[in-house]
Amino acid sequence: MLTPFNEDNEPDLKGLAELTEFYIAAGSDGLFANCLSSEMFQLTSRERLLITKTVVDTAAGRAPVVATGTFGSKVQANADFIKRLFETGVAAVVINTNQVAGLSDDDVVFRSNMDALLAQTGEIPLGLYECPVPYKRLLSPEVVRWLAETGRFCYLKDTSCNLGAIREKIEAARGSSLGLYNANTPTGLESLKAGASGMSPIGANFYPELYAYLIRYEFLDAGDERLAKVEAFLSIFDEVIDRFYPLSAKLFLKRRGLDISVNSRKQVPALAQENLLKLDALWYAFNGLAEELGIRILQSESL
């Protein structure tokens, strides 16, 4: 999820509630609040809790909410914040894999630190996020199997962008409560066919309807060219939406009628006219595909 900010660059809770309603109405089955798209590293601890609580309260049980609870390398501090975040009502608290061990630390260190974190967080349901910042710590199939066997984990946001690695992780977690959610759009459909539980891509901040369509028709085993068209659209425009993100997403959502500002705490340069025209092209292409496939495009005023 994104975090809308007001003109003073403070979290816009009204805009966040509207955004939450939009995601759910457009077909999102779950919400990841307080993540990298939310500018979580630019938020204070109080703001992280406030934003998560706002999303949980707005969703009101209609979709499970997960949120990141690890910031820094101190196990006790992370355990304490995980407990506070769980009190907001989230379905699970997500652990950034790069916050459990350092860049040069091996899996032995990772497992030792994770053991300590698990011991200090009771039975709180947990998730995993291979967050790219400050560095990307990808989990091996062996580590995924070990984590799955603890019975504590239900969510893994995979950012490997590697279909072979994704398949190995899915197999490692098979039969457990741990589901893999692919962040990479081009490998999305194939990962679903391999047994991924869903997707968790930044593109869902632009047009959640298309991802909902892709996932639901895949699970229904539609097996026709409509899936190929949706996948092709999402993959082709993936590079366009990634530029100047999250500014690009907020601009696109304003085009969709949401009453949110494009303010950000990240240092994002203003979009050149060329990039604004690309977002316009994306908007028209999205509408054309939706009309062709009979997908209802949700406008904010229809909520």
* 19-29: pLDDT as tens digits: 999 999 999 99
Which residues make beta-bridge pairs with 11? 5
Q: No. of H helices and E strands in the chain?
A: 12, 7
Q: How does residue 303 score in pLDDT terms, banded at 50, 70 and 90? A: very low
> Which strands, in side-by-side order, build the sheet including 92-96?
31-33, 65-68, 92-96, 126-129, 153-158, 179-182, 198-199
pLDDT value of residue 222: 52
Element (H, E) at 148: helix 141-149
For residue 5, tell me if it sits in a domain.
no
Burial of residue 6, with CB atoms counted within 10 A of its CB: 0-12 exposed, 13-18 middle, 19 or more buried: middle
For residue 67, tell me if it sits in a domain.
yes
For residue 3, tell me if it sits in a domain.
no
pTM of the model: 0.94
For residue 144, tell me if it sits in a domain.
yes
Is a pLDDT exceeding 50 seen at residue 252? yes
Please, what is the end-to-end C-alpha distance for the chain in angstroms? Answer: 18
How far apart are the C-alpha atoms of 33 and 55, rounded to whole Å? 7
Mean pLDDT of 62-73: 97
Query: Under DSSP, is residue 102 helix (H, G, I), strand (E, B) or coil?
Result: coil
Q: Work out the mean pLDDT of the chain and round it to a whole number.
A: 94
> Could you tell me how far CA 94 lies from the centroid of its own chain?
11
Is a pLDDT exceeding 80 seen at residue 191? yes
Q: How many domains does the chain have?
A: 1
How far apart are the C-alpha atoms of 262 and 247, rounded to whole Å? 6
How far apart are the C-alpha atoms of 103 and 98, rounded to whole Å? 7
With a CB cutoff of 8 Å and minimum separation 6, the contacts of 155 are 66, 92, 94, 126, 127, 128, 178, 179, 181
Stretch among 5-14, 135-144, 212-221, 265-274 having the lowest mean pLDDT: 212-221
For residue 52, tell me if it sits in a domain.
yes
- Say which residue the tokens 């891509």 belong to: 201
pLDDT: is 219 or 185 the higher one?
185
Is a pLDDT exceeding 80 seen at residue 135? yes
Give me the CATH number covering residue 180.
3.20.20.70
For residue 136, tell me if it sits in a domain.
yes
Stretch among 62-76, 165-179, 285-299 having the lowest mean pLDDT: 285-299
pLDDT value of residue 271: 83
pLDDT value of residue 300: 52
For residue 297, tell me if it sits in a domain.
yes
Q: Do residues 209 and 196 make contact, with C-beta atoms less than 8 angstroms apart?
A: no
Could you list the residue range(s) of the whole structural domain that residue 71 is in?
13-302
For residue 4, tell me if it sits in a domain.
no
